Structure 1
Amino acid sequence: MTNFFDGIDKVAYDPDSTSDLAFRHYNPDEILLGKRMEDHLRFAVAYWHSFAWEGGDPFGGRTFDRPWYPQDSMEMARLKADVAFEMFDILGQPFFCFHDADVAPGGDSFPEYKRNLEEIVDYFGEKMEATGTRLLWGTANMFTHRRFMSGAATNPDPDVFAWCAATVKSCMDATQKLGGENYVLWGGREGYETLLNTDLVRERQQAGRFLQMVVDYKHKIGFKGQILIEPKPQEPSKHQYDFDVNTVYSFIKEFGLEGQVAMNIEQGHAILAGHSFEHELAMAAAFGLLGSIDMNRNDYQSGWDTDQFPNNVPEVALAYYEILKAGGFTTGGTNFDAKLRRQSLDAEDLIAGHVGAMDVCARGLKAAAAMLEDGGLEAARSARYAGWDGDVARDMLANGSLESITERVLAEGINPEPRSGQQERLENYVNRFV
């Protein structure tokens, strides 16, 4: 045991509490749509923001003073893991997620990196067995080290491509060993800064071939979880090849990976792409690619990916509405890809941030489930498109030509009047639940 969280008890569900460290809405055992709330939400703590991030930003360095800094030895990696699993116990969330670089030092060579990762994976395994905490997904950090400054799989240097392939194999092996339910690929620098030195066709082919190798290896080792791609439009690259759900879908189709790859969708990335979170979720569901989510929020004034804890219940409710409508999570879940503000220095702040976020998600989930049970949105949607359910309309869409449709317009004197979309009424409807 460490003393990092001394004085902080396990967080309990107490709807009448005024404490910052009590759940007022998240009741793991509450039944919604026939399933426990915990099983709907499948919360996960992000290891990188909670334990590896040091409080820096583009204009200033470390502000946090944690006992496991500097993060450059296996001794510190084990201490960090001790603290992490103590926090998992305090929060009672079922899952966590990690990058390789979050959990162990990279070392000076690939063999040293591999040894360090394998050692900490064994340490995690013991703690997971003792606590019951599970791994939602693992991934590789192939964007922070200077070797990745020109990309990972899309790098112009084939040696970097080779390093990345070996790294992902190691991280997939680690995820498999820990019983991870998904493996995520986030191309943090899979894009370009200038077209003046970029071969778009070559880099896209490299990225596609790399993903095919990942899928092949998944089947070779018998990994039962999902391979997930996380779309992101920019930051730090000027343009990234996994811009949004639509872009990733076309990429998956191009390289023959339909049915093999799904998506991990982040709220903040959706906003950077000029979309809403519910838009990206609805598009992924429409393509059959909705796998898991990273829950956070951006500061809408700053214009960049601030990774704050969610606090907007109406936004969260609309997100979970799309998830529930699509059938809910299978191996996926709600990962808090969110970090404290750099002025929030205390251990208690780390607990409070997650408690508040879990409550916001619980409120959003309850509202989404109530809307889905009520059926008002779906009834309005069905009524709006009801004309397309008629035999004439269906035949026009299936068998019509411009000539035959024109003949019908002239023969029947078709002269349509516009119909209200009723947006304000639907917004009022949503507000009744949130």
Structure 2
Amino acid sequence: MEEWLRFSVAYWHSFRGTGSDPFGAGTIRRPWDDGTESLENAKRRLRAAFEFFSKLGNKYWTFHDRDLAPEGATIAETNANLDQLVELAAELQKKTGVKLLWATCNLFAHPRYMHGAATSCDAHVTAYAGAQVKKGLEIAHRLGAENFVFWGGREGYLSLLNTDVKADLDHLAAFFRMVVGINRYGMLGSIDANTGSPDLGWDTDQFPMDVRNCTVIMKAVVEQAGLAPGGLNFDAKVRRESTELRDLFIAHAAAMDTFARGLKNAARIISDGVMRKSLMARYASWNSGVGARIAAGEASLEECEKVILERGDPKPSSGHQEHFEAMLNHYI
């Protein structure tokens, strides 16, 4: 099961999260954190994180560059701060055996990125993002990261009135071409193992505890032959009211168990083949005749017209959604 469930702990939520939400300040105070942005506090926090990883028993962690070290007055100072923490992280990885699943750059939190990073209207900002990503790739390589991830939380626009969409997309493409030019990795990406609450209007990043959802996810993972070199990253945070350290352990352990149950369910679903058989029956018309020719790119509009003139209108077919849901429930 370990080969399929490549779990990692997200440093930003578990070790930088404070329990704040849109309606209130933070509620979580960790014993290792003195509330400052000093290098000493950053190092103490990182040591606590690796103690947590070791006790939890997971094999991977993930981070944003700005999670690790405080930002300085200049990019040179920022990079120097980062180098100190990366050296400590390398020591801790070697000592514990915990590996870096992926690293990423925070191109969204600082006010300079209010208009985006690669899609900013200010080329100077995009150049800064490029310099930040260059450093991010270098430290990821230093720590043996298996992937590098981009999260475009500020990319896009708020109003079409002041946006040149084509220019933004062109600039984004140019940015990624620069990255590809020095990228050392064969794959970008992972699964963010978190969920939201339908009762609230913002992204709650809760730990995944729903066996049904995890079964569906793991079914997709197994059907595509696994996630490696990606993994299941717990980009999730304990609730604002869950303020004890034991809550952090329980959240991760319970989510791991939920995915493990989902994997077992998914294996049975795929092995039995009943759902697959029903799915293939829905798409049977694509295996022969005009369906096969359309799928192969061999049909023409004239052929489509000829078929309809000869066979008439298509007859309604049921989606049998309730049947599929009942089948899934059988395995859960």
Matched, 1:82 2:43: no
**RCO higher in 1 or 2 (8 Å CA, sep ≥ 6)?**
2
The whole-number CA distance in structure 1 between the counterparts of 2:267 and 2:177 is 37
Q: Give the TM-score taking structure 2 as reference length.
A: 0.94
The whole-number CA distance in structure 2 between the counterparts of 1:57 and 1:396 is 50
Q: Please list the CA deviations of residues 312-343 of structure 1 after superposition, one character each: whole Å capped at 9, or x if unmatched.
A: 11111111111111111120000000001112
The whole-number CA distance in structure 1 between the counterparts of 2:293 and 2:250 is 57
Which of 351, 362, 370 aligns to 2:260? It is 362
Instruction: Report the Cα offset of residue 84 of structure 1.
Output: 0.2
Give 1:358's aligned amino acid: M
Indicate the residue corresponding to 2:115 in structure 1.
Answer: 150
Answer yes or no: is the 8 Å Cα contact 1:317–1:368 preserved in 2: yes
Which of 76, 82, 88 aligns to 1:123? It is 88
Which of 30, 40, 47 aligns to 2:4? It is 40
Matched, 1:417 2:297: no
Indicate the residue corresponding to 1:133 in structure 2.
Answer: 98
Give 2:15's aligned amino acid: F
Greater fraction helix: 2
Indicate the residue corresponding to 2:185 in structure 1.
Answer: 224
Answer yes or no: is the 8 Å Cα contact 1:215–1:227 preserved in 2: no
Which of 378, 391, 406 aligns to 2:276? It is 378
The whole-number CA distance in structure 2 between the counterparts of 1:124 and 1:100 is 12
Answer yes or no: is the 8 Å Cα contact 2:46–2:68 preserved in 1: yes
Answer yes or no: is the 8 Å Cα contact 1:51–1:84 preserved in 2: yes
Instruction: Report the Cα offset of residue 139 of structure 1.
Output: 0.5
Matched, 1:97 2:62: yes
Indicate the residue corresponding to 1:267 in structure 2.
Answer: none
Which of 163, 166, 190 aligns to 1:198? It is 163
Matched, 1:429 2:327: yes
Matched, 1:321 2:215: no
- CA pair 71-97 structure 1, distance change in 2 beyond 3 A: farther
Q: Please list the CA deviations of residues 61-108 of structure 1 after superposition, one character each: whole Å capped at 9, or x if unmatched.
A: 221222323241110111001110011011111100000111111111
Percent identity (aligned): 42
**After the TM superposition, which of the residue ranges 191-200 and 308-317 deviates more from structure 2?**
191-200
Answer yes or no: is the 8 Å Cα contact 2:148–2:185 preserved in 1: no
Give 1:38's aligned amino acid: E
Q: Secondary structure at the match of 2:149?
A: strand
Indicate the residue corresponding to 1:12 in structure 2.
Answer: none
The whole-number CA distance in structure 2 between the counterparts of 1:362 and 1:396 is 40
The whole-number CA distance in structure 1 between the counterparts of 2:158 and 2:304 is 48
Indicate the residue corresponding to 1:346 in structure 2.
Answer: 244
Answer yes or no: is the 8 Å Cα contact 2:69–2:82 preserved in 1: yes
Answer yes or no: is the 8 Å Cα contact 1:183–1:225 preserved in 2: no
Answer yes or no: is the 8 Å Cα contact 1:71–1:105 preserved in 2: no
Instruction: Report the Cα offset of residue 394 of structure 1.
Output: 2.7
The whole-number CA distance in structure 1 between the counterparts of 2:132 and 2:301 is 55
- CA pair 433-174 structure 1, distance change in 2 beyond 3 A: same
Q: Which aligned pairs between 1:263-274 and structure 2 lie closer than 5 A?
A: none
Instruction: Report the Cα offset of residue 353 of structure 1.
Output: 0.8
The whole-number CA distance in structure 1 between the counterparts of 2:303 and 2:123 is 56
Indicate the residue corresponding to 1:213 in structure 2.
Answer: 178
- CA pair 404-337 structure 1, distance change in 2 beyond 3 A: closer
Which of 65, 68, 75 aligns to 2:29? It is 65
Give 1:59's aligned amino acid: F
Q: Please list the CA deviations of residues 210-251 of structure 1 after superposition, one character each: whole Å capped at 9, or x if unmatched.
A: 111111111xxxx234234xxxxxxxxxxxxxxxxxxxxxxx
Indicate the residue corresponding to 1:31 in structure 2.
Answer: none
Indicate the residue corresponding to 1:266 in structure 2.
Answer: none
Matched, 1:306 2:204: yes
Q: Which aligned pairs between 1:18-29 and structure 2 lie closer than 5 A?
A: none
Instruction: Report the Cα offset of residue 40 of structure 1.
Output: 0.4
Q: Secondary structure at the match of 2:271?
A: helix
